A and B are shown apart, each in its own frame.
Chain A
Amino acid sequence: MTDPVEPMVAVQGLTRTYGSGAAAVTALHDVSFDVAPGEMVAVVGRSGSGKTTLLNLLGGLDRPDTGSVRIAGHEVTTLDDEGLSRLRRDSVAYMFQTFGLIPALTAAENVGVPLRLRRTPVAERDRRVELLLDLVGLRDHAHQRPGELSGGQQQRVAIARALAGSPRLLLADEPTGQLDTETGLSVMSLLRAVVESEGVTAVVATHDALLMSLADRVLAISDGRVTG
């Protein structure tokens, strides 16, 4: 049982330096912050400020030099390979700028992949996939392949896929980066709505000011430091 006041994400003194010696780049410098359960946080900053680095560390896709990342009270930075797989399978979901759908699979099949990774029974999987496609408004496109969907539709499939495994934390790295402003905005509002209805905590990296307004809180970083 998680203490209701315990934050979903607790970051303490996080530092990540790429390379060494003269070529060393400190992408994150002593970053600390918390995200409450159900909160939607926008991480903003200029290109190269360290947004992707931060999200990677949150999801266990990369390891920090120092500092700790706790997700739902569990330390992430010390997990082994197996533990990280389990974390990503059960608690943390990822959304990519390039959608990352499997081209040979239909929208519904793509959404089902995280459920397969959790070995969800077929009937339950089908139900959940249908529900999620409904949620993102793609019920009529369930059997189309990514190549037959528009960019906005593809990212909506990616949202459905990210939520399929009922994660507690959703990490999205510039989910609207490949979309035009209008589509980006609609995808972002959808994300906002869905996150709310599913009760998921979300950390979304973006440098689009318009999208920031949809977040509960904005975490601004600049040159690897949290500035607001």
Chain B
Amino acid sequence: MRRPQGIHLPTLTGRARSDWAVLLLMGLVAMLTVALTAAVAPATERAADRAIAAAVADAGPRGAVVATLPEWYDDPRGKTRDPSTAVQVRQDTDYAFSAMPPELARVLRPGVTSVTTPALQLLDAGTGRFLQLAYVDTAGAPPAVTWAEGGAPRASTDVGDGTSGDEPWPVQVAVSQEVADALGVRVGDRLPAKDEFGRTLTIEVSGTFVPVDEGDAAWQVSPRMLQPVVGTADGLPFSSGAALVSAESLPDLRFALPGDDLTRHVVFTPEPSRVRWRQAEVLERSIVSLQSSAALASGEISWDSQLGSVLQQGRAQVASARGQAQVLVVGLVSCALLVLVLGAQLLVVRRESTLSMVRQRGASLPGIALELVVEALPVAGVATLLGLGAARVLGGSGGWGWSVAVLLVASTAPALLGAAAAARVGDARRAPANRIARRAAARSRRLRRLALEGAVLAAAVLSYTALQQRGVVEPDSPGGDVTASSAPVWWAVVGAVVLLRLLPPLLTWALGLARRSTGSVAFVATARLLQTATRVLPVVVTVVAMAGITLGLALTGTVRQGQADGALSAVGGDARIDAEPDDGLLDLAHDLEDATGVRAAAAGRVEEGVRVSSARGVEVVRLVVVDSAAYERLLLASDLAEAPGLGRLRSPAAGPAPALVRGGDARLVGDLDVTWEEADVPLTVVGTAPDVGAPARAVVVVDAEAFAVAGGVAPPNTVWAVGPGSSAAVAAAAPEVPESSVATYADELRTRRDAPLPSVLVALALVSSAVLLALAILAAVLAAVVGAPARAAALGRLRALGLPTRDVWRLLVVELALPVAVAAIAGSAVGAAGAHAVLGSLSLELVTGQPGTPSLVVPWWSGLAVLVLLAAVVVVAALELRSVLRRPLGEVLRA
């Protein structure tokens, strides 16, 4: 009547009912893993979008796409004033827009069209007044202004038809109030002007205006429209500004000056929120093709943009973060899969007798396996669906790969292990009576184990090599796979294999030590451990989980420390004031030093883009002129940097100022000349500058007094302060400093912490560490439950021999906790070593924004994970003791 291959549903449901807890646990693990892995991809993608947008926003004008239109053609037979010039300009703009690849056009704001002249010299009142003329048009409209006096420039048609060539042709312009003041011009002024080739025109001021929005991109065309420059050149005063030309006066400008004086640009600024990480690569390519397609010389539009490199940098950051996320996810999934296998093992152990009975009655192995799959598949399937659903609710799911792996393992592991257990029934090879056969079997077991260990080691070496060679690779980039990202997991498995090899000799040695003792607990416990502590799966799970936790926490710790170091270095202290150069800042620094909570303060001049020449060449540097004594105190009082050379900067009564340099490709050696306010100040290099900030250029540091002796006067424009009260003290002092701004370490740090990529990475590392800890605890519980029946019997026999209850408790704790403790500590060590080994390949500096690879920080509290795990195991031991003592010993021994 029996169908040996058939599936008997009542048997199935009965079995599932008796093991519902294990099945439920496996389902939960599968669900959690699927949910997490499915949620990671969209979360990192959102962070990637925000990171790319932030990179584009931070780039500002550098991210713009600039079209330079071909030079206007001047008919050599003489030109006429063309009233439709503005319309033509508009059409050219439209043409430029349409010439762009659509994917690029989509992320750009409407272009700002400009026609600008060089700075024209005003001829009426002495030398030194320059005015640039600029026509600006954004989507058909001039920049919004309110008129302080007069009105918008108009056409100059009333002076003629434009054919007369004798008089310099008049062009009406409007100027901002600031430019009017700086250049001393008024509404109604007629200003003769010439370009550098002596070609002339007459500039008529039609009105003065106040901009409605100073931040309008239109003003970027010529910043001097709003901010004129007043200074001295070659000892003579000069002032320089820019004036606005309107659509009506543009034909006059076009007519007044030859085409080669009129530069025509269309500037397209990207809208950061429209730039998506997924399109970034396509955008990058289209910018490259745009730039290389046409040339100005051929009368076509020429294109120029840094957006490509901005996007490339952003993508590199995203790639690095995604790679790191992948490392964490691989660790998590591996551990979850191992726990699922452990759960399957528990199921099989609980059913060993049933399975062997079924097998003895003639059921085929495929039949047994099929039954077990039919039982496990619904659990795994529902768990996977729930996990995907949870991920969707949490914010979108993506990436099926891991879910499939989880589903596969959760549904087939019980079947495979079950079939293997059933196959062992009546397998004569298991314990052959014949000694030679037994030896042969032992040898083949040893060989199998060696082969397996060799395979693990090979995988570890392979993945590590992949990691070293190409770093963590983006999951879906070409050639991207999990080889490199699985390196830490493989090394953890290698660690577990080594531990499994080391444990027996170590325990044998310990047993030898205990042999000469009088008592029983240590001796019997060691003997039990020799038998139970080397079960492979629990050790591997614990080591892999703890290694993953340590790696994740090391990643978190390193990123956070890197952010802190970077923030401190970028600010140059706990707080900083930037102001206009003023000797008063020296007094401010003195006052700050006395403020409560300020450990040290120093004032200095920080100037970017200073030319320094040496015998080996010229370098543009950041020049830092400081009160070196105060600055040394500042560095010593903070974690900023070592400052061994600062003491050597003071001293000379005459001659070149001693200088410390950093960077500059060995060009900055020996004697240097700094171009400072039109003069050369001699310096001589005496050492290496402290490593503060992340300057794009080389840095030269000199002492203010020595710099003055050498002929340079540099009043400070910056004050740094360190100490817990610095922010408050600086904030209190800043309002008294005109045109100053304050930067604080706390703000800078917050900005860095809130940056999309680091925050999502740190969150993922923390979540995965927590889940790994839960998995490690679960694995310990499962392992305890798997071994519980055999342990109860063994302890029962010892109790029958007279082992007292308190010693039963000791044996239980040692047997359960010691292997977990050893594996957990080994896992932590492997994790820390792994973090150390892969740190460089993870490119964390791209995420922390530091100049170099951040130094590894393994937070002390990662050790807490071991303690939590052990506490959980002790609880398990206590529960097991209760259940062991509850049953009469006689009953335990019957089992």
Interface residues of A (CB under 8 A from B): 52-53, 56-57, 59, 61-63, 81-82, 85-90, 93-94, 96, 100, 102-105, 109, 113-114, 116-122, 125, 161, 165
Whether A104 pairs with B528 at a CB distance below 8 angstroms is yes
Beyond A113-B520, A119-B519, is A102–B888 a contact (Cβ under 8 Å)?
no
Question: Is B426 interfacial (CB 8 A cutoff)?
Answer: no
Instruction: Kindly report which residue of chain B lies nearest to residue A82, judged by CB atoms.
Output: B804
Residues of A with C-beta under 8 A to B516: 122
Residues of B with C-beta under 8 A to A56: 888-890, 893
Expressed in whole angstroms, the minimum distance between the Cβ of A31 and any Cβ of chain B is 16
How far apart are the CA atoms of A24 and B802 in the complex, in Å? Answer: 31
- Taking a contact as CB atoms closer than 8 A, the residue among B518, B526, B797 that contacts A121 in the complex is B518
Whether B518 pairs with A88 at a CB distance below 8 angstroms is no
Question: Is B212 interfacial (CB 8 A cutoff)?
Answer: no
Expressed in whole angstroms, the minimum distance between the Cβ of B549 and any Cβ of chain A is 32
Residues of B with C-beta under 8 A to A81: 805
Residues of B with C-beta under 8 A to A121: 518
Beyond A104-B531, A122-B516, A122-B518, is A61–B524 a contact (Cβ under 8 Å)?
no
Whether B802 pairs with A61 at a CB distance below 8 angstroms is no
Query: What 4 new A-B contacts, CB under 8 Å, besides A81-B805, A122-B518?
Result: A61-B888, A85-B799, A85-B804, A102-B531
Whether B511 pairs with A104 at a CB distance below 8 angstroms is yes
Whether A85 pairs with B802 at a CB distance below 8 angstroms is yes
Beyond A104-B530, A116-B519, A122-B516, is A61–B893 a contact (Cβ under 8 Å)?
yes
Question: Is B891 interfacial (CB 8 A cutoff)?
Answer: yes
Question: Is B800 interfacial (CB 8 A cutoff)?
Answer: yes
How far apart are the CA atoms of A85 and B890 in the complex, in Å? Answer: 14
A contact patch SS:
helix
Question: Is B794 interfacial (CB 8 A cutoff)?
Answer: yes
- Taking a contact as CB atoms closer than 8 A, the residue among B511, B524, B526, B803 that contacts A85 in the complex is B803
Whether A102 pairs with B794 at a CB distance below 8 angstroms is yes
Residues of B with C-beta under 8 A to A103: 531
How far apart are the CA atoms of A2 and B798 in the complex, in Å? Answer: 28
Whether B800 pairs with A94 at a CB distance below 8 angstroms is yes
Whether B531 pairs with A100 at a CB distance below 8 angstroms is no
Interface residues of B in 727-751 (CB under 8 A from A): none
How far apart are the CA atoms of A119 and B521 in the complex, in Å? Answer: 11
- Taking a contact as CB atoms closer than 8 A, the residue among B517, B523, B527, B889 that contacts A62 in the complex is B889
Whether A100 pairs with B797 at a CB distance below 8 angstroms is yes
How far apart are the CA atoms of A57 and B888 in the complex, in Å? Answer: 11
24 contacts between A and B (CB under 8 A): A53-B890, A56-B893, A61-B890, A62-B889, A62-B891, A82-B805, A85-B804, A87-B802, A89-B801, A89-B802, A90-B802, A94-B801, A96-B800, A104-B527, A104-B528, A105-B527, A109-B515, A109-B527, A117-B802, A120-B518, A122-B517, A122-B518, A165-B801, A165-B802
Expressed in whole angstroms, the minimum distance between the Cβ of A174 and any Cβ of chain B is 12
Residues of A with C-beta under 8 A to B530: 104
Residues of A with C-beta under 8 A to B523: 109, 116
Question: Is B3 interfacial (CB 8 A cutoff)?
Answer: no
Whether B802 pairs with A116 at a CB distance below 8 angstroms is no
How far apart are the CA atoms of A62 and B890 in the complex, in Å? Answer: 6
How far apart are the CA atoms of A59 and B799 in the complex, in Å? Answer: 11
How far apart are the CA atoms of A182 and B528 in the complex, in Å? Answer: 33
Question: What is the number of contacts between chain A and chain B, taking CB atoms within 8 Å?
Answer: 90
Expressed in whole angstroms, the minimum distance between the Cβ of A135 and any Cβ of chain B is 19
Interface residues of B in 496-538 (CB under 8 A from A): 511, 515-520, 523-524, 526-528, 530-531
- Of A52, A57, A87, A104, chain B has the most CB atoms within 10 Å of the CB of A104
Beyond A61-B889, A104-B530, is A113–B801 a contact (Cβ under 8 Å)?
yes
How far apart are the CA atoms of A102 and B796 in the complex, in Å? Answer: 12
Residues of A with C-beta under 8 A to B800: 59, 61, 88, 94, 96, 100
Question: Is B894 interfacial (CB 8 A cutoff)?
Answer: yes
How far apart are the CA atoms of A82 and B799 in the complex, in Å? Answer: 11
- Of B519, B802, B804, chain A has the most CB atoms within 10 Å of the CB of B802
Instruction: Kindly report which residue of chain A lies nearest to residue B800, judged by CB atoms.
Output: A94
Whether B804 pairs with A102 at a CB distance below 8 angstroms is no
- Of A52, A103, A105, A121, chain B has the most CB atoms within 10 Å of the CB of A105
Expressed in whole angstroms, the minimum distance between the Cβ of B804 and any Cβ of chain A is 4
Expressed in whole angstroms, the minimum distance between the Cβ of B503 and any Cβ of chain A is 13
Whether A86 pairs with B802 at a CB distance below 8 angstroms is yes
- Taking a contact as CB atoms closer than 8 A, the residue among B517, B519, B524 that contacts A102 in the complex is B524
Residues of A with C-beta under 8 A to B798: 113
Interface residues of B in 862-895 (CB under 8 A from A): 888-891, 893-894
Expressed in whole angstroms, the minimum distance between the Cβ of B260 and any Cβ of chain A is 96
Residues of A with C-beta under 8 A to B801: 88-89, 93-94, 113-114, 117, 161, 165
Whether A96 pairs with B797 at a CB distance below 8 angstroms is yes
Whether B890 pairs with A113 at a CB distance below 8 angstroms is no
Whether B890 pairs with A52 at a CB distance below 8 angstroms is yes
Whether B527 pairs with A117 at a CB distance below 8 angstroms is no
Beyond A61-B893, A85-B802, A114-B801, is A119–B511 a contact (Cβ under 8 Å)?
no
Digit string of B673-700 for contact with A (CB within 8 Å is 1, else 0)?
0000000000000000000000000000
Expressed in whole angstroms, the minimum distance between the Cβ of A154 and any Cβ of chain B is 13
Residues of A with C-beta under 8 A to B891: 62
Interface residues of B in 795-833 (CB under 8 A from A): 797-805
How far apart are the CA atoms of A105 and B527 in the complex, in Å? Answer: 7
Instruction: Kindly report which residue of chain B lies nearest to residue A86, judged by CB atoms.
Output: B802
Instruction: Kindly report which residue of chain A lies nearest to residue B804, judged by CB atoms.
Output: A85
Expressed in whole angstroms, the minimum distance between the Cβ of A17 and any Cβ of chain B is 13
Residues of B with C-beta under 8 A to A86: 802
How far apart are the CA atoms of A94 and B889 in the complex, in Å? Answer: 12
Instruction: Kindly report which residue of chain A lies nearest to residue B894, judged by CB atoms.
Output: A52
A-B pairs with lowest CB-CB distance, top 10:
A89-B802, A56-B890, A62-B890, A116-B520, A61-B890, A104-B530, A100-B797, A88-B802, A104-B527, A61-B889
Whether A117 pairs with B803 at a CB distance below 8 angstroms is yes
How far apart are the CA atoms of A99 and B888 in the complex, in Å? Answer: 20
- Of B523, B797, B804, B893, chain A has the most CB atoms within 10 Å of the CB of B893
Residues of A with C-beta under 8 A to B804: 82, 85, 89
Beyond A102-B528, A104-B527, is A114–B515 a contact (Cβ under 8 Å)?
no
Expressed in whole angstroms, the minimum distance between the Cβ of B800 and any Cβ of chain A is 4
Expressed in whole angstroms, the minimum distance between the Cβ of B775 and any Cβ of chain A is 30
How far apart are the CA atoms of A63 and B888 in the complex, in Å? Answer: 8
Residues of A with C-beta under 8 A to B797: 94, 96, 100
How far apart are the CA atoms of A135 and B891 in the complex, in Å? Answer: 32
Residues of B with C-beta under 8 A to A93: 801
Instruction: Kindly report which residue of chain A lies nearest to residue B793, judged by CB atoms.
Output: A100
Instruction: Kindly report which residue of chain B lies nearest to residue A121, judged by CB atoms.
Output: B518
Residues of A with C-beta under 8 A to B893: 56, 61, 96
How far apart are the CA atoms of A125 and B516 in the complex, in Å? Answer: 10
How far apart are the CA atoms of A224 and B604 in the complex, in Å? Answer: 102
Residues of B with C-beta under 8 A to A122: 516-518
Whether B518 pairs with A119 at a CB distance below 8 angstroms is yes
Beyond A52-B894, A62-B889, is A114–B802 a contact (Cβ under 8 Å)?
yes
How far apart are the CA atoms of A120 and B519 in the complex, in Å? Answer: 8
Expressed in whole angstroms, the minimum distance between the Cβ of A131 and any Cβ of chain B is 18
Residues of A with C-beta under 8 A to B894: 52
How far apart are the CA atoms of A118 and B894 in the complex, in Å? Answer: 26
Expressed in whole angstroms, the minimum distance between the Cβ of B787 and any Cβ of chain A is 14
Expressed in whole angstroms, the minimum distance between the Cβ of A117 and any Cβ of chain B is 5
Expressed in whole angstroms, the minimum distance between the Cβ of A143 and any Cβ of chain B is 12
How far apart are the CA atoms of A192 and B742 in the complex, in Å? Answer: 98
How far apart are the CA atoms of A90 and B804 in the complex, in Å? Answer: 12
Instruction: Kindly report which residue of chain A lies nearest to residue B518, judged by CB atoms.
Output: A119
Residues of B with C-beta under 8 A to A53: 890
- Of B520, B527, B800, chain A has the most CB atoms within 10 Å of the CB of B800
How far apart are the CA atoms of A200 and B798 in the complex, in Å? Answer: 21
How far apart are the CA atoms of A109 and B893 in the complex, in Å? Answer: 22
Residues of A with C-beta under 8 A to B802: 85-90, 114, 117-118, 165
How far apart are the CA atoms of A52 and B891 in the complex, in Å? Answer: 10
Residues of A with C-beta under 8 A to B794: 102
Interface residues of B in 418-472 (CB under 8 A from A): none
How far apart are the CA atoms of A105 and B529 in the complex, in Å? Answer: 11
